[in-house]
Amino acid sequence: MSGGPPKTPAPAPFSCTYSSNIPELLQQLNCTLALSTYQAGKVVLLSSPDGERLVQLPRTFRKPMGIALEGGKLAVATLDEAIVLSNSPELAQHYPKKPATYDALFMPRATYYTGQVDIHDLEWGVDGLYAVNTSFSCICRIDDNFSFTPVWKPPFISKLAHEDRCHLNGMAMAEGRPRFATAFNAGDSRQSWRENITETGVLMDVGSGEAIANGLPMPHSPRLYDGRLFVLLSASGELVQVDTNNGKTETVCRLDGFVRGLCRCEDYVFVGLSRLRQNSSTFAKLPFAHRAQQAGIAVVHLPTGALSGFIRYQASVDEIYDVRVLPGLRRPNILNPYEAQHRLGLSTPEATYWANPQ
């Protein structure tokens, strides 16, 4: 006979716990959350169809990073592609595996082959798809002409090179164009940002090229909400508001973890939290590394800075890059381009069809 207490069964894949108000809040806001986890290779949709339970839908994408949304069009940055998906509520209604279940279905409709340029933030703009090209230290447009078309680089970057010189990562849009950008430092040599990673971050004005704030601890996810600029400081676990006139930061909320991925819906912002790798030479330097043991999403009431709820993963998800609100959708579905099923969903301007498998 074997001794000792019985072993606790491992949690099921993508199992999570959440505060009791999360399903009701998603129903109240009439939205679904989408998160990207490059570590798990998934885009995960989190919905509450009834206000009482949280439903997850994980879909495989190869190293998904930034997620962009404009109307019914979604784009996902992956390992070496930018994949564009379009919502078809009609195909959703007759989805063969679960008819009359989903109110949206994002179908793959185009793929841009960018090559491995380590795209981080991704946004739709007035003239197409904008991306933060971290490998080449620039902001670029993604289209069918080239791997990418550079539109801006920090003034301290002397030339475009596949060297991730300053770890340019974040982009805030205004009037359909990049307005602010974040990087880990102002270096101009291969991966120079690794030298003093927690104290050299910079927030830049894209129009002037000037630094608004320096010495930031690993800034990510700059966002403009009602004319106010918010940034996540990953190495200190803070959501801050930045005064663009003098660069001063004001802490909105302090979260006990590595924050990255930010999106707003009405008075609430959803912040991605990553579980830090203890064997990482980068993450091990962070002051809260021993406490950042939960990955998930924190919900912050923006007017007060109060923590209003949380989702915490028990399995599968360790590192989150982006969080995106899908407004007006209670139970969306998404198909990836790697499996055959998406090829059966056909749409024209007048009609939709689910074809029979050949």
- Burial of 178 (C-beta count, 10 Å sphere; 0-12/13-18/19+): buried
Predicted local distance difference test score (pLDDT) of residue 49:
94
Under the banding of pLDDT at 50, 70 and 90, the label for residue 195 is confident
Q: Above pLDDT 70, what percent of the chain?
A: 93
Whether residue 188 is predicted with pLDDT greater than 70 in this model: the reply is yes
- According to DSSP, the β-strands at 149-152 and 170-174 are unpaired
In this prediction, residues 122-136 reach a mean pLDDT of 97
pLDDT tens, residue by residue, 260-304: 999 999 999 999 999 876 666 666 666 666 666 789 999 999 999
Q: What is the predicted pLDDT for the residue at 206?
A: 98
pLDDT at 83: 98
Interatomic CA distance for residues 241 and 231, integer angstroms? 6
210, exposed or middle or buried, with CB in 10 Å at 0-12, 13-18, 19+?
exposed
Mean pLDDT across 48-66: 97
**What pLDDT, on the 0 to 100 scale, is given for residue 356?**
86
Helix (H, G, I), strand (E, B), or coil: what is residue 196? helix
Q: Say what the pLDDT of residue 205 is.
A: 98
* The pLDDT value given to residue 283: 64
The whole-chain average pLDDT of the chain stands at 94
Burial of 140 (0-12, 13-18, 19+ CB in 10 A): buried
Q: Is the pLDDT of residue 7 over 80?
A: no
Query: Beta strand pairing status for 219-225 and 211-216?
Result: unpaired
What residues contact 267, with CB distance under 8 A and at least 6 apart?
Answer: 301, 302, 303
Q: What is the pLDDT of residue 292?
A: 64
pLDDT at 153 over 70: yes
CB-count exposure of residue 48 (10 Å: 0-12, 13-18, 19+) = buried
Write down the pTM of the prediction. Answer: 0.94
Q: How many C-beta neighbours within 10 Å does residue 127 have?
A: 11
Residue 101 has pLDDT above 60, yes or no: yes
Of 3.40.309.10, 1.10.275.10, 2.120.10.30, 2.40.340.10, the CATH number of 16-338 is 2.120.10.30
What pLDDT score was predicted for residue 3?
58
CA separation for the pair 151, 27 (Å, rounded): 39
pLDDT of residue 276: 78
Q: Is the pLDDT of residue 1 over 50?
A: no
Mean pLDDT (whole number) for 320-346: 96
pLDDT at residue 248 tops 90: yes
Q: What is the mean pLDDT of residues 14-18?
A: 95
Q: Please give the pLDDT value at position 257.
A: 87
State the DSSP H helix or E strand holding residue 332, giving kind and residue range, or none if neither: strand 332-334
List strands edge to edge, sheet with 177-183.
Answer: 170-174, 177-183, 201-205, 211-216
Sheet containing strand 332-334, strands side by side: 67-70, 73-77, 81-87, 104-113, 332-334
Q: Is 198 left (phi over 0), alpha (psi -120 to 50) or beta?
A: alpha
CA-CA distance, 34 to 24, in Å (whole number)? 17
Neighbours of 65 (CB within 10 A): 25
Place of tokens 């980068």: 282
